[in-house]
């Protein structure tokens, strides 16, 4: 996970925060959010003139919202939660 390398402490080699954030990204709900975002992007940009995909988009948007909330709840470290979710979308990109 190249995007998390900024968390590694270069002076003393500590990777505690890096490993914790990497663990957050391995949570099932996060994987589901990323997967559904991928399919929502496909529907919106490549199937935009098709009526049948509008219903699928609504379903995906609801699933993304539900899984993101569950993911937010599962990140249990309240001190890390603020920093992690400030950088979450940068990490995903």
Please give the Cα distance from 65 to 33 (Å, whole number).
Answer: 8
pLDDT of 19 reads: 84
Please give the Cα distance from 24 to 26 (Å, whole number).
Answer: 5
Please give the Cα distance from 22 to 20 (Å, whole number).
Answer: 5
Please give the Cα distance from 90 to 16 (Å, whole number).
Answer: 20
Q: Is residue 13 part of a domain?
A: no
The domain of 36 spans 28-92
Q: Is residue 79 part of a domain?
A: yes
H-only helix segments in the chain? 16-25, 28-46, 52-74, 78-92
pTM of the model as a whole:
0.77
Q: How many domains in the chain?
A: 1
The dihedrals phi and psi of 87, each to the nearest 5 degrees, come to: -105, 0
Q: Is residue 72 part of a domain?
A: yes
Q: Is residue 56 part of a domain?
A: yes
Q: Is residue 42 part of a domain?
A: yes
- pLDDT, tens digit only, all 93 positions of the chain: 556 655 655 555 567 778 888 889 999 999 999 999 999 999 888 877 777 788 889 999 999 999 999 999 998 877 788 888 888 888 888
Cβ pair 29, 70 in contact under 8 A: yes
């Amino acid at each position: 996970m190249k995007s998390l390398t900024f968390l590694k402490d270069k002076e003393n080699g500590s990777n505690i925060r890096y490993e914790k954030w990497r663990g957050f990204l391995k949570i099932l709900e996060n994987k589901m959010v990323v997967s559904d975002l991928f399919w929502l992007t496909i529907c919106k940009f490549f199937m935009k003139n098709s009526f049948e995909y509008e219903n699928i988009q609504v379903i995906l948007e609801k699933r993304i919202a539900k899984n993101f909330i569950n993911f937010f709840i599962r990140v249990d470290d309240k001190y890390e939660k603020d920093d992690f979710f400030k950088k979450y979308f940068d990490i995903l990109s």
